[in-house]
Each structure stands twice: as structure tokens, then as C-alpha cells.
Structure 1
Amino acid sequence: MNQTCTWCQHGRTFLRDVAQGMFLITHSGLAMVGLTSLALVLALWLNPHWLHSAEGAVFSWLRDRQVLLSWLPQDTTERATALRLQDLPKPQVAVAEWLARKYKVAPEPVAALVAESYALSKKTKLAPHFILAVMAIESNFHPYVQSQAGAQGLMQVVTEIHAKRYEAYGGRLAAFDPIANVRVGVAVLADAIKMRNGSVEEGLKFYLGGYALTEDGGYVAKVLAEQAQLDAVAAGQKPALP
């Protein structure tokens, strides 16, 4: 009986020592965390440049992983909107060069739009040359065009109607950012085609004027003709420029 009590006493002593040790370790660890945090806060407070750099790094990490995208919109000022032609596949180079000559714009920004159209094509199932053809007819590849109805940018998206779509890119002024405008415009166009049971022609008409449109003024024919020319250019042909 006494031997059993002795073992019980030793067990209680052991458990008490372990608990005290864990408390000391935890307390010391928390104290170190607290001191480290305090030192970090003081360092950032004394050096605002470090704080700005740290914030930028955190925001960039969150944006890259698309975390809280609506609260941390894409910083379009840090993204290049031009590409070297040699970075594109040959068919895309031919298309970019042809468009640059036809619309009298620099080839490097057009190259970026060509590459973006091919990337969007994979996501939306819209042909890349179809996307580029809409851009061509809508704006002649001039990103700052605005219509009397308030349609803006390369794809002539009515920003007032589709302002919500621009939130992920920083707000309404992103309508004049070429890549943001194309992405929003393609999303609107893809939705229009879906609403018209997959008809490209009817979707284009809806994209042009919505439910109120009665006559497209040859718009659909122009877009499809432009697409056909781009298909020919990518295949190695050289359609005559106007």
C-alpha cells in the first residue's frame, strides 16, 4: 500500500514538473513572440519605407494568388501592355504586323493584344481572330476612343453599364487600360452570344446595341470579314491592305 502511494506521489510530482516546464516554455515563447512583434512594429514605425515595402509585398502575394480579388484589385500600372514580336509564334507575329500596318499603330502593343486574344480564346471558346476583329471594327486599335453613348476603349464597352466588371481591375478608369478593357469586353461579348443561343451573328448584334437594335448597319459583316482576313494572314497569306 505504501509502495503504491509512493508511486502515486512520484507520478504527481512528475506531472507537476512537466506542467511547470510546459508553462515556462510556453510563457517564454509567447514573451519572445511579443518582444519580436513589438520590435518589428517599432522598426516599421521608425522607417515608413520598410512599412510601405512590406505592404506592397503582402498585397502582391495576395493578388498573385487571387485572394480577396475584389478588395485587392489588380495593379495594372505594373503590367506591361506591349510584347516583343519575336516572343510570339509565327502566325501571331504575322497577325500583329498586319494589324499594325493596317491600323497605323505600333506593333508591340498590338502583339500584346494578339497574345491576350489567344489566351482569352482558350477560356471563352471565342476564336482569337474573332476577338481581334471586334477590336478592329470597334476602335481601330485606339484604346482611348469614346462614343457618344459612353462606350469606351478598345472593345467599346459601355462603362456605365458594366462598371461592376471593372472592379477586379481597379475600377472604372481601367476601361482605358487595353488589357483590362479587352478582358471585360470579351466577357460581355461571350455572355451576349450565350444569351442568343450561341449565335455569333445575333450575339454581335446584341453586343452592338442590345435589345433595342433593329439594324446593325453592316457591323456583323464587317467583323466577320475582318476575321476572315486575319485567318488568311495567320495561314501565311497576305491580303491587300486598304
Structure 2
Amino acid sequence: MTASGKMISGMIAACMAAARHSLDFVGLAVAFVVMALVARPDLREAGEAQLMNWLQARQMPSGPLDAAKAGARAKAGKPEDLPRDQAAVTFWLSKKYRVAPEPLSVLVARAYDAGTQSGIDPTLILAVMGIESGFNPFAQSAVGAQGLMQVMTRVHTDKYQNFGGQLAAFDPVSNLRVGVEILQECIARAGSIEGGLRHYVGSANMVDDGGYAARVMAEHARLRQVASARALPISGWGQSGACSACAPRPPA
């Protein structure tokens, strides 16, 4: 072997020896740390707390949250900031269904927006919500209807694609928008609100809808009176009596 070859071989051997010693050192260091943590629980707890703080800091936004984005993410608002008719409807529904007015105010405002876009009276949309779920965004019927407007998620999966998928059924605003879209289709198919409600609940081809359309229309009439500043007593605290089978079906 040449002199240069011996030199390279010697350097490689030295590097390998150094690497082995380094690994030995790291192993010893880890062993000492583990022994120290076992012997000193207070050190372990302090380390865990520091690690948790670091993880939480990593999840926090690095800069100030944009006001517009914060408003878009808000799930509650001030009813007093709504127009008079919407505020009146919010407080009336809050008392009847025992729901906090702050998150309810957002739903009322979104229902009015959806009503403008779809041509459906917003108080009808809110009446459907009340009868269907009692304003419980996590409601689920025995047949699988989910959310505020008790949409059959497995039937209307395609309608949730623009909202991030099927789990959006439990997002109040997403469920509202999908429910309004289905209700609009049902009314157009039936040619009337009452007929559309029967399609919505899946009883279009049945002799009786169990009084569903009548209950919705009665609640709709009450909400229209409230919105027009006519005070109404709260009758029948809580949910208005939506049956477990009241779940949207695909148009017949």
C-alpha cells in the first residue's frame, strides 16, 4: 500500500473511532438524563411543562389576527347590533328554545342572508330550524338526519363538498346553507311552500306528514309577527316537537 493510501486508511479509522466514542458519549448522556428524571420527578414535571408551553406557542399565530378574519371565524355576536326585526326574532327564539342569544344572533343574520339569496322568507328558514332541531347544531335523528336543519348527510354528501366534506354537517352555518338549498329545491318541485315542506320531510308521497308542515307554518307565522314588532307570548318552552323521522329526503 502506498504512503497516501495508508494515510487515508488511518484517517478513516480515526473518524470511525471518534464516531464510536461520540455515540458512547451520547448513550451515557441519555442514560444519565433518564436516571436524573427518575430520581427527580420535579425535574420531569418542569420539563413537561416547558415542552407543553413550547407546543402551545407553536400553535399560536405569530402575528396579530386580521380583524376581518377574526370576524369571519366568530360564532357569536351581539344581538343589539342586528337590525331591529332580526334582534327581536333573536331574543324571542332565545327565550323559547333556551339558546344563548349571542350565537343565535349569528344564525338569524345568516338566515336573513340566505333568505335574500334564495328568495325564501328568512322566518320560514328559522321556523324549519326550530321544528327540526330546536337550534341544536349537533342534533341527529334516528334515521341519520344531522345538524340544525336535519339534513340527511349521506344522501346530500355532494352538497357539503364546498364546505370541506361531510363533517361540515355539524357546522351551523354550513348546515344552514345546505338545508336552505334543499328547501329551495323542494319548494320549486312542489310549487308551494306547504308542498315543499312535505318534500323536505320526505312525506310527499304519503297521505299524512304527521302535522309537520302545519307546525312549521305556525312557527313561521309567529316569527313573522315577532319580526313586525308584534309582541307574542312564549308558548311551549323548548323544542316545538320535531319528530325523529323529520329528516330531509332527496326530492321524490
TM-score by length of 1: 0.66
Bigger relative contact order (CA 8 A; separation at least 6): 2
Question: Structure 1 pair 149/214, CA: closer, same or farther in 2 (3 Å)?
Answer: farther
Match of 1:79 in 2: 73
Structure 2 residue corresponding to 1:233, chosen from 216, 226, 233: 226
Distance 1:95 1:211 in 2: 30
- Aligned match of 1:220 in 213, 218, 236? 213
For the 8 Å contact 1:95–1:233, the answer to whether it is kept is yes
Distance 1:126 1:213 in 2: 25
Residues 206 and 213, structure 1, Cα contact 8 Å, conserved in 2: no
**C-alpha separation between the residues in 2 aligned to 1:206 and 1:229?**
22
Contact 1:135/1:141 (CA < 8 Å) preserved in 2? yes
Aligned match for 1:110, one of 81, 92, 104 = 104
Q: 1:173-213 deviations in whole A, cap 9, x for unaligned?
A: 0000000000000000100111112x111110000015554
Task: Indicate the residue corresponding to 1:22 in structure 2.
Answer: none
- Moved >4 Å (runs of 4+): none
Distance apart, 1:237 and its partner CA: 1.5
Q: Is residue 81–residue 179 contact of structure 1 (8 Å, CA) maintained in 2?
A: no
Q: One-letter code of the match for 1:164?
A: D
Q: Which residue of 2 aligns with 1:127?
A: 121
1:85/1:93 contact within 8 Å kept: yes
Would you say the 8 A contact 1:143–1:154 is kept in 2? yes
Structure 1 counterpart of 2:171, which letter? D
**2:144 is matched by which residue type in structure 1?**
G
Q: Give yes or no for the alignment of 1:206 onto 2:199.
A: yes
Counterparts of 1:27-176 in structure 2, within 5 Å, are 79-176=73-170
Secondary structure, counterpart of 2:94 in structure 1: helix
Q: 1:25 is matched with which residue?
A: none
Q: Partner letter of residue 191 of structure 1?
A: E
Gap runs ≥5 in structure 1: 1-48, 54-74
Residues 48-71 of structure 1 deviation map (CA, whole Å, 9 limit, x = unaligned)? x9xx99xxxxxxxxxxxxxxxxxx
Q: What is the RMSD computed on CA atoms of the aligned residues?
A: 2.2
Structure with a larger share of its residues in helix: 1
- Report the Cα offset of residue 232 of structure 1: 0.9
Q: What TM-score results when the alignment is normalised by the length of structure 2?
A: 0.64
Gaps of 5+ in 2: 1-57, 63-68, 236-252
Count of aligned positions: 170
- The alignment partner of 1:116 has SS state of helix
Identity %: 48
